[in-house]
Amino acid sequence: MDHEIQLISDGDGLAVIGNPTAVERFLVTEGLSSRDLGLHRLGSGLGAAGGIARAGSEIAASSGRWVKLSEKSAQALKSSGLMKGSEPGLSRAVLTENGSIKGILEIARAPGSFLANPALLAGAAGIMAQLAMQQTMEEITDYLATIDAKVDDILRAQKDAVLADMIGVDLVIEEAMTIRQQVGRVSEVTWSKVQGTSVTIARTQAYALRQLDALAEKVERTTKVGELAKASKEVESQLQEWLAVLARCFQLQDAIAVLELDRVLDAAPDELDRHRIGVRTARQNRLELISRTTERLTERMGLAAATANAKVLLHPSASRDVVHATNHVTTAVVDFHGRLGIATDREAWEARRWIDAAGDVRDRVVETGAGGLDAGRRLGGQTVDRARTVTSRLSSGIAERALRGRGGDEPAGPTEAQP
C-alpha cells in the first residue's frame, strides 16, 4: 500500500521503510532526523538468496531511512506499538497513514509486505547495525576534536612497538572505508588488507586499559595526603591521553565490523543475521570491559578525595589538589562514556557534587580556624597587658611602704600611690 510504512527497531536505531512520500510524512510528523538506509545494497548483495529476485521491484520502489534511537525517537516507537519478532533483537510493526497499527510483521506474510521476506529483514538489520556503528564513529571523531587529542602524536611518543603499529593500522582501515564508500561494497581484495588488523587494535586496547589499571592501583596503594595529591595529579595529566587511545581503538573496531558485515552480505548472505548478532555481542563485551576499567579508576579517585577531605585541616592545599583532580577525572570519564554509548551511573555523578561541597566546608573550617586564632592572639595580648599593669602597681606599693618604714617611728600605713 502507498500509505503503509514498516518499522524495525534493533535497540540502537529505527528503520522506516515504505513509499518515499509516506516515509517522509512520518518522519516530519514525529520530528525525527534521519539518514538514508541504503536499501539498494540488498539487491546486489543478497542476489537470488531467499527469493530476493522476486522482491527486486519492491526494493526499488521503497524508501528506507534510519533514525538513531534517542528520547524523541523512542517515544515515537512507543506510540507505534512495535512488537518483537522471531529474529533476535528485532521489533517490528506495520503502520497505516494515520499511525494506527495495521498488522504485526511476524504474521503479515502478504507478498506486498517488504519485510515479510526473512532475507530482506536480515539484510535491513545488518545495514542498521552498520549505520549505528558509523554514527558512534562520527561521535568519537567529534570527541577527539573536542579534547584536542592528537592520537598519532600520543602513539608516536610511546616506545612500545604495538602502539607504533597502530598508526599503520589506522591508515589501512581508513583506506578500506574510503574504497567502500566509492565502490559500494567490500571486495575480497579490500577485505584481505584489513582482516588481520583487529589483533593489533585489540593489543593496543589492552595496553591502554593496563595503563589505567596501573594508575588506579597507584592511587589505591597511597594513604598519605601529600602522596595522594601527587598520584592524583598524575592520573589527571595522563587520563585524557589513554581515553583518547581507547576511543580510537573502539572507533577502528567499529570500522572493521562495518567492513565485515559488508563482506558477509556479499560472500555469505545466509549468515548475515547470525554474524550481526555476533558483532553486537562482541561490541557489548568491549564496552563492558572499558566501563569496568574506567569506573574502577573513578572509584579509587573518589576514595582518595574522601581521605583527603577527612584530613583537610592538616593538609588544606594537598586536599584541594586531590578534590580538583577527582572532579576532573570524573568529568572526563563521564564524557568519554557518553561518546561510546556507555550508560553512566547518575548517582555516582551526583556524588561528585558532594566532593565539591566537602571542599567548601573545608574552606569554611579553615577560615573559622584562622579567625579563632586571631581572637586568641587578641585575648592573649590583652591578658599580658593587664598582668603587666597589676605587677607594676604592686611593685610600687611595696617600695613606698619600705621607704616609710626606714624614715619614721610610726609603722607604715596604707598610702596612695603617687604618680
Identify which of 320, 325, 330, 321 has the alpha carbon closest to the alpha carbon of residue 359.
320
C-alpha span between 31 and 110 (Å, rounded): 30
In whole angstroms, what is the distance from residue 261 CA to residue 132 CA? 13
CA-based nearest residue to 17, from 29, 28, 8:
8
> Residue 146, Cβ neighbours under 10 Å: how many?
10
Q: Which helix (H) or strand (E) holds 173?
A: helix 161-183
Distance CA 252, CA 218 (A): 30
d(CA 383, CA 389): 10
Q: Would you state the cell numbers that stand for residue 66, as one nine-digit string?
A: 534510519
Per the structure block, which three cell numbers stand in for 107? 504474521
Residue 101, helix vs strand vs coil? strand
Tens-digit pLDDT string for the chain (419 aa): 466 788 888 888 888 888 888 888 888 888 888 999 888 787 665 554 544 555 555 566 677 899 988 766 666 666 655 555 545 566 665 655 444 433 333 333 334 455 567 777 888 889 999 999 999 999 999 998 888 767 777 766 665 666 778 888 999 999 999 999 999 889 999 999 998 899 999 999 999 999 999 999 999 988 888 889 999 999 998 999 899 999 999 999 999 999 999 999 888 888 999 999 999 999 999 999 999 999 999 999 999 888 888 887 778 888 888 989 999 999 999 999 999 988 766 555 554 443 454 445 445 555 544 443 343 334 344 433 544 443 444 344 434 444 344 444 444 444 444 44
Angle at 320 between CA 316 and CA 324, to 5 degrees: 175
| pLDDT per residue as tens digits for the range 137-156 | 999 999 988 887 677 777 66
Question: Exposed, middle or buried: residue 352 (CB in 10 Å: 0-12, 13-18, 19+)?
Answer: buried
**Domains of the chain and CATH, by start:** 5-122 (no CATH), 147-365 (1.20.58)
Q: Residues 233, 234, 238, CA angle at the centre, nearest 5°? A: 115
152-177 tens-digit pLDDT = 777 666 656 667 788 889 999 999 99
Mean pLDDT of the chain: 75
Q: Which long-range contacts (CB under 8 A, 24 or more apart) does 37-44 make?
A: 37/64, 37/65, 37/66, 37/124, 37/127, 37/128, 37/131, 38/64, 38/127, 39/63, 39/64, 39/124, 39/127, 41/123, 41/127, 41/184, 41/185, 41/265, 42/120, 42/123, 42/124, 42/127, 44/184, 44/185
All three cell numbers of 131, joined, read: 549505520
